[in-house]
Amino acid sequence: MKTPITKAFLTRLPKSDLHLHLDGSLRLNTLIELARKVEMKLPSYTEEGLRELVFKQEYTSLEEYLRGFSYTLAVLQDPEALARVAFELACDNQAEGVRYIEVRLAPQLHAHGSFDTIEALRAVSDGLERAKRDFNAREEVRSGEEPPFDYGIISCSMRYFDEKSSPFHAGFLGAHRYSDLDRVFGLASLELVLASARARDEHGLPVVGVDLAGPEKGYPPIHHREAYLLAQRHFLRKTVHAGEAYGPESIYQAITELHAERIGHGTSLLNPAAVQDPDIADPVGYVADLARFIADRRITLEVCLTSNQQTNPSLRRLETHPFGEMMKLRLSICICTDNRTVSNTTVTDELYKAVTVFDLDLHYLKNLLVYGFKRSFFPGPYAEKRKYVRRCMDYFEKLEAEYLASTPEDDKPVPDSSLDEPGED
């Protein structure tokens, strides 16, 4: 069956991005300008050169993929730069129909001296709020014709860091030089949760949740259990990078030890061969049980197709990505970009890949977009969130009706009953 969903149509649809790293999503011309300002040497001072040398379409390794962050982080060390990049990121999303984003950053990587983690969060919020205010002042939004733009901020802690990671981490390691390193990593996460709760409760910043990122192997979630329990006591929502660079047991630990409500990536979830724990005697049964466990609890997987292709050699052919099996199992999935610049992608690009490679119809596409809004850590009350999601989906239905009216009869989508209502629970 010919799939009638075009990229132009996808661009117009109301979308979300729940896994979006600020330091991986700078405009290249802004990176160049900021690098000159701080006198940092770049491999190239043209967008084309940076695309060729640093931010590529394809990477040979995870290390090469991560190389670009050394440049982006270096220019994001003051409030003006953070606010500017956050503003531009929101504008770029608005331009392609994205109406809700959750921007995640590790504020401890930006903190130094008197510029602390809360001030880093404030700078990002200032930029995002400016973009929100400008967009929502448009007549189309004020009249109710189109849904407004909104956002949340997710504070990300690190499974591992060293003295070179940031001035904050260097000082933190120095202050705890006699402590076990695993304990120090957990204490840094605890510190971040406390700062995030204060940023929200005392400073009114829309910090909606916490995340844990960094190398999975050798740095299990349990070291951050105290921090995540504190996040829960402060009603901060919880997501965790897991199952990207380690086996399914990493996902299980994120859920059971940290009570994660969403999982970043989770590409090893359905792969018995990725199980590394020797105590798991039946890897096939283990992944089946884990998938059912996640499905029953509606734990959402933040799927980043392009990023996964670039960092995992086994997924270079997108057809091999577990997204297709995740759909068949009726798992809760949202499509995200991860890093718009480092992965050279947009939400529209990611959805277009999903639509074309996995042959999604409009029915499933709608439910996929619903998941993005419904599983968000929306900063307002639940009743307000429901109203917001309804506005976004009403707008989807309006655009859908217009699109179908202009589509030749032979090209109109045929509903796939095997994917019936995956996003309506």
C-alpha–C-alpha distance, residues 349 and 411, integer Å: 22
| Nearest by Cα to 358 from 288, 305, 285 | 305
Higher pLDDT, 71 or 421: 71
The SS3 of residue 115 is strand
Q: What is the pLDDT of residue 189?
A: 98
The three-class DSSP label of residue 210 is: strand
Residue 306, CA distances (Å) to 73, 226, 260, 340, 372 in order: 22, 33, 24, 10, 18
User: Average of pLDDT values for 139-158?
Assistant: 97
Q: In the prediction, which pLDDT does 421 show?
A: 41
pLDDT of residue 116: 96
The residue written with tokens 């910090």 in the block is 207
Q: Enumerate residues 6+ apart whose C-beta is below 8 A from 97.
A: 10, 11, 12, 13, 14, 15, 347, 348
Identify the pLDDT of residue 254. Answer: 97
Pairing of strands 333-335, 98-105: unpaired
Long-range contacts, stretch 287-293, CB < 8 angstroms, 24+ apart: 287/248, 290/248, 290/251, 290/252, 291/329, 291/331, 293/252, 293/255
Sign of CA dihedral 71, 81, 305, 228: positive
What pLDDT, on a 0 to 100 scale, did the predictor assign at position 409? 62
For 154, half-sphere exposure in the C-beta direction (CA atoms, 13 angstrom radius) is: 29
How much of the chain, in percent, has pLDDT values that exceed 70?
A: 95
What DSSP string describes 337-363?
-B-TTTTT--HHHHHHHHHHHTT--HH
Question: Strand locations in 190-325, DSSP E?
Answer: 207-213, 237-242, 262-265, 300-303
* pLDDT at residue 410, as a whole number: 59
Instruction: Using alpha carbons only, give the angle 103, 65, 154 rounded to the nearest 5 degrees.
Output: 15
Task: Give the number of other CB atoms < 10 A from CB of residue 61.
Answer: 11
Element (H, E) at 80: helix 79-95
Instruction: Select which of 102, 119, 146, 244 is catalytic.
Output: 244
**Nearest-angstrom CA–CA distance, 151 and 208:** 9
- And the tokens for 126? 């200032």
Find, among 48, 101, 106, 99, the residue nearest to 72 by Cα. Answer: 106
* Euclidean distance between CA atoms 146 and 136, whole angstroms: 9
Question: Helix %, strand %, coil % for the chain, to 5?
Answer: 55, 10, 35
pLDDT of residue 245: 87
pLDDT tens profile 163-187: 999 999 999 999 999 999 999 999 9
The answer, yes or no, to whether residue 363 has pLDDT greater than 50, is yes
244 labelled catalytic: yes
Strand partners, 209: 154, 237
Spatial contact of 102 and 152, defined as CB atoms under 8 Å apart = yes
Mean pLDDT over each residue of the chain, to the nearest integer = 94
- Rounded average pLDDT over 95-101: 98
Q: What is the mean pLDDT of residues 48-52?
A: 96
DSSP conformational letter for 147: P
Q: Which of the four pLDDT bands, split at 50, 70 and 90, describes residue 387?
A: very high
Tell me what pLDDT residue 4 has: 76
Q: What is the CA radius of gyration of the chain?
A: 21
d(Cα 254, Cα 380) in Å, to the nearest integer?
26
- CA-based torsion, 114, 117, 120, 121: positive or negative: negative
pLDDT tens digits, one per residue of 119-135: 999 999 999 999 999 99
Neighbours of 187 (CB within 10 A): 18
pLDDT at 57: 85
Residue 317, C-beta contacts closer than 8 angstroms, at least 6 positions apart: none
List pLDDT tens digits, range 199-218: 999 999 999 999 999 999 99
pLDDT at residue 318, rounded to an integer? 95
CATH second-level architecture of 7-26+76-419?
A: Alpha-Beta Barrel (3.20)
Q: CA 322, 325, 327, 331 torsion: positive or negative?
A: negative
CA distance 232 to 9: 39
Q: Could you tell me the pLDDT band of residue 417, with boundaries at 50, 70 and 90?
A: very low
Residue 230 reports pLDDT greater than 90 = yes
CB of 213 within 8 A of CB of 241? yes
In the predicted structure, residue 424 carries a pLDDT above the cut 90: no
Q: How confident is the model at residue 60 (pLDDT cuts 50, 70, 90)?
A: confident
* Residue 170: other Cβ atoms inside 10 A: 15
Strands (E), 150-281: 150-158, 207-213, 237-242, 262-265
